[in-house]
Amino acid sequence: MKLNDEYITRIEKITNLGAGIARIEGFVVFVENSCPDDEVKVKITKINKNFAIGEIIEIIHPSADRVEPFCPMYKVCGACQIQNIKYEKQLEIKKEITQDAMKNIAHLDINIPNTIPSPKIKNYRHKIQYPVSQTKVSGRILAGYYKPKTHDLVNIKHCPIQPEICDKIIEFIREKAGICNIQGYREKTHSGDLRHVVIRNSAVNNKNLVVLVVNADKVLSKFNEFAKLIYENFDEVNGVCINFNTQKTNVILGKKTVCLFGKDYIEEKILDKTFKIGADTFFQVNPESAENIFRYVKEFLQNNCDSPVVLDAYAGISSFGIAISDVCQKVVTVEEVKASCDLAKEVAKLNNIKNIEIYNEDAAKFLRQTGGKFDAVILDPPRKGCSEESLKEACRLSDKYIIYVSCNPATLARDLKILCDIGCSVESVQPFDMFCHTYHVENVAIIKV
């Protein structure tokens, strides 16, 4: 096998990163934009010791599961890696990704049920984060997503996986920025004003919180003028905030946010509970799919524990704890970000929830220092998963169950292996589709202690 060689091959399956797998002359070849059972002609573009990368130059016989992507920006944007595959097959792929992780990493022989679909597969994404730039010659403002594996900005005028109002707000920002002398950010020279636009959209009332991330450390008059212009032109905008980020970093939000007009939050509703979502609040981007997960956990607790006492670690704004509170005797939530804890207390008061205790502390430290027992411990960590110490402490504190909510099958499987090695048993792993048309899959694992 050599670079630029061409082969006719069949795509076997989709990897956990969204690429197709083919086997040619003993090599595993990863092929983007493919579909299981496609017969394709590929050109080899890269060769490593154990695998190669190929690109499709002709689809000879398309798979029965291949469809035309509904977004014209599918190939250049790269955000929806498997949008070229029927939705029903996407759900099968996510089940298979979970099954492979459990078998190959956790060494678990466990039956994975079908992936629970998202209630909506378009307009489902309610958090939008667009980098902003500006063309050199015309000075035109660009806002969109980066091309895969680059920092070349694709100017996105319409994104069908987000609410339509978000497209309108972004287009208004592109068109009107010049009126207020707002310049797009230039990454190479660390110059310009507007780095990102972040929009939080409410699925319950279509209200929006617009956050302008600026390359400055104070509110300039032109930022105030621009924020006012946005706020006054959209009834759907609940508030406009400025976030300050002067660092040379890929991190989107800086540490300080100021609300200039309106309110600094939107409201969202899950399982009849009202939540407040701020500029930097962690909250699931697909609220309707998140409701499926919360309901699943709530029903499990209701059916398997009698008025349980529950610990919710890595709690964010205590959304899990608040959602399940009415089937619990008491819920204790732990979150290291003070602003999230403050907001959680507001939300608990808003929903008249009195059986919740909210602690502002590092989850690992809290787990280590806490005594007593809980009927169940909910772990909902970031993609990197939990530390071995945190898993052992969760095991010590739980009298019956650990409920592990994960957005990364690989780290979930790694952590389940650790739990099994210290004597726990995995009762079930249920996949949910939170990010339609991507390779991402959310899972809820029930672990018996």
User: How many Cβ atoms sit within 10 Å of the Cβ of residue 324?
Assistant: 27
Other beta carbons within 10 angstroms of residue 48's beta carbon come to 10
> Strand, coil or helix: what is 329?
coil
Three-state SS across 190-255?
CECCEEEEEEEECCCCCCEEEEEEECCCCCCHHHHHHHHHHHHHCCCEEEEEEEECCCCCCCCCCC
Distance in angstroms between the alpha carbons of the first and the last residue of the chain: 51
Contact 311, 332 (CB under 8 A): yes
How far apart CA 423 and CA 448 sit, in angstroms, is: 9
- Cα Rg of the chain, angstroms: 23
Closest to 51 measured CA to CA, from 83, 99, 8, 19:
19
CA distance 359 to 292: 26
Residue 191: other Cβ atoms inside 10 A: 12
Q: Is 166 a catalytic residue?
A: no
Q: What is the distance between the alpha carbons of residues 423 and 408, in angstroms, rounded to a whole number?
A: 23
Cα dihedral 439, 251, 187, 227 sign: positive
Q: How far apart are CA 320 and CA 322, in angstroms?
A: 5
Of 80, 241, 341, 407, the active-site residue reads 407
Q: Which residues of 263-288 are buried (b: 16+ CB within 10 A; e: fewer)?
A: bbbbbbebeebebbbbbbbbbbbbbb
Query: What DSSP element (H or E) covers 139?
Result: none
Task: Determine the residue type at 437.
Answer: H
Nearest to 191 by CA among 134, 131, 272: 134
Task: Give dist(CA 136, CA 192) in Å, integer.
Answer: 12
Active site residues: 407
